């Protein structure tokens, strides 16, 4: 496209956006006057009168829904039948949300998430467009009032500017004796081609150096695929920012990425400056050794995620990093007629199993995706009554498992997904969305929450259901493990966590949920640091081993030249303040 044409398109876009903001602002002002006068707004007048017994359409911001507008999915129908509310989905990108916000034309129900909306929970609250929920819950939401008292107290304390309740945290989990364990055994890990590991004799691994030697032997055993493509034990992608260098390896060290150049030690409950930290530099040294051993795909620094996925499914790499990648790869091998091939968790010299299962989460996702009603809500009473139902066990099962008799059923006393559901998913990648498995951010309970019937809200996570997804390589792994009662690989990992071979921390720590946004100056400095790091890691990883320490020193000096020390200072101060606040709240 020529520069002149591109400029014309941009000019048209700017003009249309400005007109939209102007029109929305005018509409918002008119509605605001009606609110002040105690009259129904235009949006509320458009909804059907709940006193007539008919359905009320309530708008809901939902980026997960397959289609916008009034929802006619099977699950939406069930919600409407139970509550009299027909969800009417509005979605889009952060720019669209900001236009709606500026014009006072937000949908009736929203979940606050900065990544989706471009506006954080406090900024959305300070816009003055949210409804206080205290009286609504007192009069119309007995389930929320009785069973979500801790979450309500948290929200009033930390997600309010006047002590009233504006946000309801979602995805709350209360731990039980039954653990809902991930199919693979972790959310993030260094999953390894188990058939090749067995082929080289299942060598004992006590350190990451041992693991690298095992990977080298695996690559030597299978230097190319049947189609003649070159294999590398380790590959990856470059288009997720710093994900490859700050997430998977560190997760197995008990460290999770926080933000703005910081990470969080989940074992010791403390923040770490990522680019000074031992876990980050252990990661850099690991990849540096892999590069010099010839087992690191040099395209890891340039290729896209989709390129990596092709290599993963084509057998060109022997390590992957997340449970969804594990599932995709093992299912691909099974579909190709080689179910005896695939990935499992083997010893790596790292022993933390990130996200193996959930512990207590009394505040759920806390500041992430809390639910709110806006002043545009077509019928706040019906809305809160619906939410009260969806925060119940029955509502959680509906949102996470679908409609009984359609998506799930009880067979011999065991609730399980139906053949209709499994066949639908197998035949159509968007089947679940088209049926309404897209409203889970309305769920007060976690998908992993064990309900009164002894099974999780999401029956897809029940051991009996997960067992149906296992392939031949999973069965081989289970047999080799000696864990006799394991139904799928994750339960092998659970057993090893229980025995102390692997670690997992599930204690509640409120501090990460109370972190405030840093200053704009710190955000800008952090962005500059990250831009350097994207390039700097390649220089470190591809260095000669004898130059590694010098490259490390130069890297640290470069991030400090860009203001990293100042970023760390402010972020540590923010953490300290949040930690103090969390302690005061816990002591109440």
Query: Are the C-beta atoms of residues 518 and 570 closer than 8 Å to each other?
Result: yes
pTM of the model: 0.83
**3-class SS letters over 460-527:** HHCHHHHHCCCCHHHHHHHHHHCCCCCCCHHHHHHHHHHHCCCECCCCCCCHHHHCCCCCHHHHHHHH
Predicted confidence band of residue 29 (pLDDT cuts 50, 70, 90): very low
Per-residue model confidence (pLDDT) at position 13: 32
Residue 408 has pLDDT above 80, yes or no: yes
Pick the range with the lowest mean pLDDT from 27-36, 44-53, 324-333, 382-391.
Answer: 27-36
Residue 72 to residues 86, 110, 380, 433, 443, Cα–Cα distance (Å): 8, 20, 21, 12, 19
The total of other beta-carbon atoms located within 10 Å of residue 30's CB is 12
- In total, the chain counts a number of residues equal to 588
The total of other beta-carbon atoms located within 10 Å of residue 199's CB is 13
Tens of pLDDT, residues 290-306: 999 999 999 999 999 99
Tens of pLDDT, residues 560-573: 999 999 999 999 99
Per-residue model confidence (pLDDT) at position 34: 41
Per-residue model confidence (pLDDT) at position 120: 86
Per-residue model confidence (pLDDT) at position 40: 44
Residue 71 has pLDDT above 60, yes or no: yes
Tens of pLDDT, residues 202-211: 999 999 999 9
Average pLDDT score, the chain? 90
Per-residue model confidence (pLDDT) at position 12: 34
Sign, CA dihedral 88-93-94-99, equals: negative
Residue 8 has pLDDT above 70, yes or no: no
Tens of pLDDT, residues 468-501: 989 999 999 999 999 989 999 999 999 999 999 9
- Beta strand pairing status for 56-61 and 85-90? parallel
In angstroms, how far apart are the furthest CA atoms of the chain?
79
Give dist(CA 329, CA 320) in Å, integer.
9
């Amino acid at each position: 496209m020529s520069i002149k044409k591109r400029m014309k398109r941009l000019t048209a876009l700017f003009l249309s956006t400005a007109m939209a903001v102007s029109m929305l602002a005018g509409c918002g002002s008119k509605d605001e006057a009606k609110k002040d006068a105690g009259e129904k707004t235009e949006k509320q007048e458009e909804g059907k009168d709940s006193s007539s017994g008919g359905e009320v359409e309530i708008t809901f911001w939902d980026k997960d829904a397959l289609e916008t507008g009034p929802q006619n999915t099977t699950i939406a129908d069930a919600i409407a039948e139970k509550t009299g509310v027909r969800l009417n989905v509005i979605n889009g990108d952060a720019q669209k949300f900001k236009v709606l916000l500026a014009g006072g034309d937000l949908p009736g129900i929203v979940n606050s998430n900065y990544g989706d909306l471009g506006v954080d929970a406090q900024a959305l609250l300070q816009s003055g467009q949210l409804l206080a929920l205290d009286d609504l819950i007192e009069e119309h939401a007995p389930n929320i009032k009785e069973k979500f008292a801790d979450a309500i107290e948290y929200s009033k304390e930390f997600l309010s500017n006047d002590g009233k309740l504006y946000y309801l945290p979602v995805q709350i989990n209360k731990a039980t004796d039954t653990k809902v364990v991930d199919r693979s055994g972790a959310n993030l890990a260094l999953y390894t081609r188990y058939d090749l590991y067995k082929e080289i004799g299942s060598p004992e691994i006590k350190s990451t150096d041992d693991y690298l030697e095992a990977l080298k032997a695996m690559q030597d055993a299978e230097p190319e695929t049947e189609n003649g493509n070159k294999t590398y034990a380790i590959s990856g992608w470059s288009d997720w920012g710093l994900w490859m260098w700050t997430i998977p390896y560190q997760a197995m060290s008990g460290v999770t990425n926080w933000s703005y150049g910081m990470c969080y030690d989940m074992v010791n409950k403390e923040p770490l400056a990522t680019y000074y930290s031992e876990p980050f530099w252990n990661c850099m040294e690991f990849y540096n050794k892999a590069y010099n051993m010839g087992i690191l795909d040099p395209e890891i620094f340039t290729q896209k995620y989709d390129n990596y996925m092709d290599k993963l499914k084509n057998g060109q790499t022997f390590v992957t990093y997340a449970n969804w990648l594990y599932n995709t790869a093992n299912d691909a091998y099974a579909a190709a007629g080689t179910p005896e091939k695939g990935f499992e968790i083997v010893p790596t010299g790292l022993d933390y199993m990130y996200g193996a299962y959930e512990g207590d989460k009394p505040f759920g996702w806390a500041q992430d995706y809390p639910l709110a009603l806006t002043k545009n809500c077509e019928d706040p009473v019906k809305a809160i009554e619906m939410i009260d139902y969806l925060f119940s066990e029955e509502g959680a099962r509906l949102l996470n498992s679908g409609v009984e008799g359609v998506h799930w059923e009880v067979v011999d006393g065991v609730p399980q997904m139906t053949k209709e559901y499994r066949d639908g998913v197998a035949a159509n990648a968007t089947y679940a969305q088209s049926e309404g498995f897209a409203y889970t951010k309305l769920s007060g309970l976690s998908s992993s929450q064990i309900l009164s019937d002894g099974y999780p809200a999401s029956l897809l996570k029940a051991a009996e259901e997960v067992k149906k997804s296992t392939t031949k390589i999973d069965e081989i792994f289970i047999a080799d493990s000696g864990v006799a009662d394991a139904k799928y690989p994750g339960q092998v990992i659970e057993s090893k966590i229980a025995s102390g071979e692997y670690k997992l921390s599930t204690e509640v720590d409120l501090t990460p949920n109370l972190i405030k946004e840093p200053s704009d100056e710190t955000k800008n400095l952090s962005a500059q640091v990250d831009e350097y790091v994207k390039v700097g890691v390649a220089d470190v990883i591809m260095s000669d081993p004898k130059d590694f320490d010098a490259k490390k020193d130069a890297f640290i000096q470069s991030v400090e030249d860009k203001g990293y020390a100042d970023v760390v200072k402010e972020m540590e101060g923010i953490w300290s303040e949040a930690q103090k606040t969390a302690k005061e709240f816990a002591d109440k």
